[in-house]
Structure 1
Amino acid sequence: MNKEPFLKYELDISEDSIWLYPTFDNLIKHSMPFIQEVGDFLANQNYYTERQGLESFLIKYTIRGEGILKYNSDEYTVRPGQIFWIDNMNYQYYKTSENTGFWHVAWIHFYGISCKEMYNLFLEKNNNRNVISMNENNNIKDHIYKIINLYSNDNHSGLKMSKDIYVSNLLQSIMYEILMSTVESLDFQSIPSIIRSACDYITNNYEKNINLDSLAQRFNVDKFYFHKLFKQYTQTTPHQYLITTRLNAAKKLLKTTKATITEIALDVGFNNPSHFINFFRKSENVTPGAYRKLWIK
């Protein structure tokens, strides 16, 4: 098919729709995925886009209403809780469904390092389909709204690189979450009760001194067998599950309290604040202090 670029569209959207064009640092653009455009559209009946030949990827998440996507000779109805992910080099046509007459979507155009590989993996794992239903507790919409919020309130010019890195991390989280949804889901009840109980225990007691030995002793099992079983059913180790749980709790405290970094580190179970900062930076690509500043209005 001829990939000569062209674009036709009817921007039939409400006045309170959002459309942003973030400008990323050139160093970020050459080293990690980056946002080209981001938006939250309340699209009306006549909204459509027909395009090809754009060096970009597009993810649209349906919040309310329905959309129609025509892509690679397939036609999809995109309903609430579903996303489509496409390569904009290929011919595409999407519009508001006539069945609903409106289509509320949060969306991102993006490009950069590893995006093509992750997109191809998405297609491979999703039976070459461009639409997938997300778990009802997914974070796609929240991540896109965080990106919109950060670039709508552009009052942190001195922290531009930190913000761009953080947004790139959110973009990667969106792609990872979609990829995880393509993996055949395990029936929760098929997970051994010892693993379910261990996850619950860590989630409810993350601030305590927990390690592999104490978990094995608590659940009366050989620690090496427990470690292998835990990773088999959760795709992570007990230690990493604990660290991730602590970091998620820390992020909430950073956004909602004025506690110091040291106080937060101790509150979530890190005895050494330096270790907390190192783990946080590795996970979020910014320090706890920089993360907090990104959320200051």
Structure 2
Amino acid sequence: MHVPLERATDPRPDNPIRHIATPSAFAQASLYYVQETGYGRIREKCFLERDTLSSYLIVYTVSGTGTLTYRNQSHRLRPGEAAFIDGQHHHRFGSDSNKDWELYWAYFNGAGVQTYYEQFAEQEKPLAALLPDSQLGQLFERLQREQLIPDLRAELVASSILVSMMTEVVLAAHQYSSSNPAYPPLIQGVMQVIDRDYRQRLTLDRLADRFEVNKFHLAKLFKRCTGTTPGEYMINRRITRAKELLLDTALPVGDIALAVGIENTSHFINLFKERSGLTPLAYRKKWQRI
């Protein structure tokens, strides 16, 4: 039986900050929770190596450079970059020069962490350059302060901070900020076409032909920028418009299906329920305005 591995020269230099947490049963069942978090300056030839952890790890470089070995590949960690990895896989991180490597790190888990990680991991590398408006450093500082008095309040606040941290690194991986999602012109154009012509039969092939690009390149770029595929984006646009018609008109369900570009009423009902959890009529009944 393979057991978790932890080998390390001391990665905690002068006056390190390191907190090891034991989350409550409530936190483990309902929240995002910290397992270990820290800050330090790692000196020459210091490293930490682990695997088979039921945990995820974010490492943020403040200054200097370090190295991360993950899934048999080595990566240099530079200032302003963050790595986000799955602790189940073997990983090793440490300094790579004579200069100190200043960093924050956090091991954490929770029911929804894997979903965030999968969004981040769609890119080729397990690290991303943070955006200019990133607050990741401040979030790490807040997270560590909350570990000083481990009570329910601290666990609730820490859960919220972890969500913000994961949001920061996923936004960085997709290279758009929460305040200004600057999509490439191609993606902006495709979104505008779908928003305007979602009633029509807009296949990936037709969109690619319209913008004179390779359809595989278009699909990959669209997913990286928006987090969804062109097809899913169009379906969501149709379902959103159907909800508006259900609440603002007395149109029959079949007419609404046609109005949003879906000819088969049964297919529309199934699709609507899949996306909203309710049939169109049940949605109308629950959400109908007075």
The two structures have a TM-score, normalised by structure 2, of 0.58
Is contact 2:11–2:48 with CA below 8 Å preserved after alignment? no
Matched, 1:142 2:138: yes
**How much has 1:150 moved relative to structure 2?**
2.4
Selected match of 1:178 from 156, 169, 177: 169
Identify the residue that residue 224 of structure 1 maps to in structure 2. Answer: none
**How much has 1:187 moved relative to structure 2?**
4.3
- Output the CA distance in 2 between the equivalents of 1:112 and 1:189: 33
Identify the residue that residue 64 of structure 1 maps to in structure 2. Answer: 63
Q: Percent identity?
A: 20
| CA deviation vs aligned residue, 1:182-227 (integer Å, no higher than 9, x gap) | 224354997x9xxxxxxxxxxxxxxxxxxxxxxxxxxxxxxxxxxx
The two structures have a TM-score, normalised by structure 1, of 0.57
| CA deviation vs aligned residue, 1:214-264 (integer Å, no higher than 9, x gap) | xxxxxxxxxxxxxxxxxx9xxxxxxxxxxxxxxxxxxxxxxxxxxxxxxxx
**How much has 1:55 moved relative to structure 2?**
1.1
Selected match of 1:166 from 157, 163, 167: 157
**How much has 1:116 moved relative to structure 2?**
1.4
Is contact 1:8–1:51 with CA below 8 Å preserved after alignment? yes
Identify the residue that residue 10 of structure 1 maps to in structure 2. Answer: 9
1:102-117 counterparts in 2 under 5 A? 102-117=100-115
| CA deviation vs aligned residue, 1:159-189 (integer Å, no higher than 9, x gap) | x212211110000110011111222435499
SS at match of 1:105: strand
Letter in 1 for 2:17: I
Is contact 1:3–1:52 with CA below 8 Å preserved after alignment? no
Identify the residue that residue 215 of structure 2 maps to in structure 1. Answer: none
**How much has 1:56 moved relative to structure 2?**
0.9
Is contact 1:65–1:102 with CA below 8 Å preserved after alignment? yes
Identify the residue that residue 229 of structure 1 maps to in structure 2. Answer: none
Letter in 2 for 1:56: S
- Output the CA distance in 1 between the equivalents of 2:65 and 2:91: 17
SS at match of 1:30: helix
Identify the residue that residue 78 of structure 2 maps to in structure 1. Answer: 79
Is contact 2:127–2:173 with CA below 8 Å preserved after alignment? no
Is contact 1:81–1:136 with CA below 8 Å preserved after alignment? no
RMSD of equivalent CA atoms: 2.4
- Output the CA distance in 2 between the equivalents of 1:189 and 1:57: 31
Letter in 2 for 1:119: Y
| CA deviation vs aligned residue, 1:33-59 (integer Å, no higher than 9, x gap) | 101111111111121012211111110
Identify the residue that residue 47 of structure 1 maps to in structure 2. Answer: 46
Q: Which runs of 5+ in 2 are unaligned?
A: 189-225, 227-290
- Output the CA distance in 1 between the equivalents of 2:69 and 2:95: 12
Is contact 1:37–1:108 with CA below 8 Å preserved after alignment? yes
Identify the residue that residue 94 of structure 2 maps to in structure 1. Answer: 95
Change in CA separation of 1:73 and 1:96 when aligned onto 2, cut-off 3 Å = same
- Higher-Rg member (1/2): 2
Aligned length: 184
SS at match of 2:114: helix
Query: Which structure 1 residue ranges, 4+ long, deviate > 6 Å from structure 2?
Result: none
